[in-house]
Structure 1
C-alpha cells in the first residue's frame, strides 16, 4: 500500500513535469529581454530571414525609386542584409520589439500591431540603416529617397489571440508547477518501500512526459507556420524561441534514463 501510494505520487509528478518544464523555460525565454535577444540574434544570419527582410525593404520602396536606379538600390539592399550593419540593426530592432511582444502576449496596450489577420513587425530601425547604406553605396539621389517602409507579417492574428490566455496561464504556473512536480517526485521516492522500482517508474514517466512535450512542440510549429502569412519568418522565430526548451526536454529525458538505470541496479541488489 505504501509503495502504491508512493508510485501514484511519482506518476502525478511526471504528469506535471512536462508542462512544468515548458512553462518555466518558455516564460523565461520570452519575458527576459537578454535571453530573448540571445535567442533571436542568430536569426540575422538565417538566409530566409535575410531574404524576407530584403524583399520587404524593396517592397517599401516601390514607386519611390527611378527605374534607372533600381538595380543599384537592389544591390545595396542585398549587400546590407549580408553586412554587420544589418546584424547590429537586427539586434536593436528586436530590443525595441521585445516589450511590444510582451504587451501583445499579456493583452496590454502598446503591443505589436495587428493588421487584418496578421501580426506585423515594423522594420523601422533596419529601414533607417538602409538609407545610410544607400549614401555609403553612392546610390543615385540617395538623399532624396523618401522614408523606407518595411513591414513583415510574422504570424496570424487569430493564432496570437489564442496564445494570449495560454501565455497568461504559463506565467502564473511557471514557478508553481516545477516546485510541485519536483516535490511529488521526491516525496514519492522517499515514501516508497521499494525505491528501486519507484525510481524506474519515475524515470520512464519523465521520458514519456518529455517526449509528449516534444511531440506537442512539433505539432505547434506546424500549426504556427501553416497559419502564418510569412512561414519563412515564423518558422525560424519559433525555432529560436523554443530552442532552449528542446535542449532542456532532451536533458530531462537523459535524467529519466539515468533514473531507470539507477532504479534497476537498486532493484537487483534488493533481490
Structure 2
C-alpha cells in the first residue's frame, strides 16, 4: 500500500484539501468581480454592448433631455420658444439619431474612462467634485442642428451648449479609482488561482465528495453575498446621485456581466453540492463495506512450526 492510500495519511490529505477548497471559494467573489468589471470597462466592444441599450432607456432619455433643455434655457431662449424646444428635445432623445450619437459619444469616452480610472482625467469623461460626468456637447450640437432644420425660433442663434450628465457620484468614485489598478492586475490570475485551489483541493482530499459539497456551498454563499453587495452598492450610488435614474441605469449596464457570472457560478456551486453528496454517499458505502470486510476476515495466527514442545 502506497503512502496515498495509507490510513494515517488520509486525514492529512482531507485537511489540506479542505483548506484549499475554503481558500478557493473565499477568493471566488473578488475573482468574479475583478474579471467581469475590468473586462466590461477595458474592452471597448464589451463596454459599448453594455451602454448602447441605455439609449432606449426612458430614464436615460429623460435625464439627457432634462440636462439639454436646462442648458438651452440658460442661454436665454424666449419664453415663447421654450415649448417648441422641449418638444424638439423630447423627440430627439427618442429618435435613432440620438442612439447613433449616444454610441459615438460613448465610443470616444470609453478609453478616457479607462484612463480616468487609472488616475488620468481627460476628454469627455472626468471626475468633477469626485463625480464621473459625461459631456453631452456633441449631443447638444446635433440637437441644435435638428432644431434649425425644424424651424425652431432663434435656434440658429444658440451658442455652444454646455450639457453634462452625472454617471457615478463621489462615494463610488472614491472606492473604484484607488483599487482599479489592483483589479486589473488580478482580473486574469485570480480566477485561475480560484479554479486551481478548488479543483486541487477536491483532488487532494481523501474524501472527494465532502470536499465538493464544502466547495459548492461556499461558492453559493459567496456569490449570494456578491449579489447582495452589488445591490447595496447600487442603492448607495443612486441615493447619492443628483440623477438617480441615469446613475442606476449606467450602474446596471456595467455590473450586468458581474451579476450574470455570479449567478452562473452560483448554479455551478449548486451542481457541485448535489454531485458531491452522491459521491460522498458512495464513498461512505465503500468505506463501510471495507471496514466490514476487515472485521469479518479471520485473524492470522503466528506460525509455530511442526516441532512440538519447547527447547
TM range (shorter): over 0.9
Return structure 1 stretches of 4+ with deviation > 6 angstroms.
none
1:15 aligns with 26
Per the alignment, residue 24 of structure 1 pairs with 35
Q: CA deviation at 1:29?
A: 0.3
What is the CA deviation profile of residues 79-119 of structure 1, one whole-angstrom value per residue up to 9, with x for unaligned ones? 00110011111111111211221121110242633333533
Counterpart position of 1:91: 103
| 1:194/1:114 CA distance change after superposition, 3 Å | closer
- Judge conservation of contact 1:49–1:233 (CA < 8 Å) in 2: yes
In the comparison of the two structures, how many residue pairs are matched?
A: 271
Matched residue SS, 1:174: helix
Give the structure with higher Rg (CA). Answer: 2
CA contact (8 A) 2:227 2:259 kept: yes
1:76 and 2:88 correspond: yes
Matched, 1:129 2:142: yes
The CA distance in 2 between the partners of 1:202 and 1:82, in whole Å, is 48
Number of the residue aligned with 2:131: 118
Structure of greater relative contact order (alpha carbons < 8 Å, 6+ residues apart): 1
Q: Structure 2 vs 1, CA of residues 174 and 148 (structure 1 numbering), >3 Å: closer, same or farther? A: same
TM-score normalised by length of structure 1: 0.95
Q: Are residues 186 and 117 of structure 1, via their aligned partners in 2, closer, same or farther at CA, if it must alter by over 3 Å?
A: closer
- 2:306 is aligned to none
Q: What is the alpha-carbon distance in structure 2 between the residues aligned to residue 118 and residue 109 of structure 1?
A: 12
Query: Deviation at 1:202?
Result: 1.1
- Per the alignment, residue 61 of structure 1 pairs with 72
Cα distance change, pair 252–117 in 1 and its aligned pair in 2 (3 A): closer
CA-to-aligned-CA distance 1:167-206 (integer Å, 9 cap, x gap):
1221111112111111111111111111111111111111
**Superposition deviation, residue 56 in structure 1:** 0.6
3-state SS of the aligned residue for 2:161? Answer: coil
Q: Which moved more, 1:96-105 or 1:240-249?
A: 96-105
The secondary structure found in structure 2 opposite 1:113 is strand
Structure 2 counterpart of 1:43, from 50, 54, 66: 54
User: How big is the alpha-carbon RMSD for the aligned residues of Structure 1 and Structure 2?
Assistant: 1.5
Once the two structures are superposed, the pairs formed by residues 215-254 of structure 1 within 5 Å of their partners are: 215-254=228-267
Contact 1:93/1:124, CA 8 A, preserved across alignment:
no
Where does structure 1 lack aligned partners over 5 or more consecutive residues? none
User: TM-score of the superposition, structure 2-length normalised?
Assistant: 0.83
Q: In structure 1, what is the equivalent of residue 280 of structure 2?
A: 267
Distance 2:224 2:267 in 1: 11
Answer with 55-64 or 73-82: which moved more.
55-64
Q: Which is worse superposed, 116-125 or 180-189?
A: 116-125
In 2, distance between residues paired with 1:110 and 1:117? Answer: 14
TM-fit CA distance, 1:158: 4.9
Matching of residue 106 in structure 1 with residue 118 in structure 2: yes
Deviation at 1:223, TM superposition (A): 1.6
Contact 1:118 1:229 survives alignment (8 Å): no
Distance in structure 2 (CA, Å) of the matches to 1:159 and 1:242: 13
**Partners of 2:242 and 2:86 in 1: CA distance:** 24
Unmatched runs of 5 consecutive residues or more in structure 2: 1-11, 286-311
Residues 159 and 227, structure 1, Cα contact 8 Å, conserved in 2:
no
Tell me whether 243-252 or 148-157 shows the greater mean CA deviation: 148-157
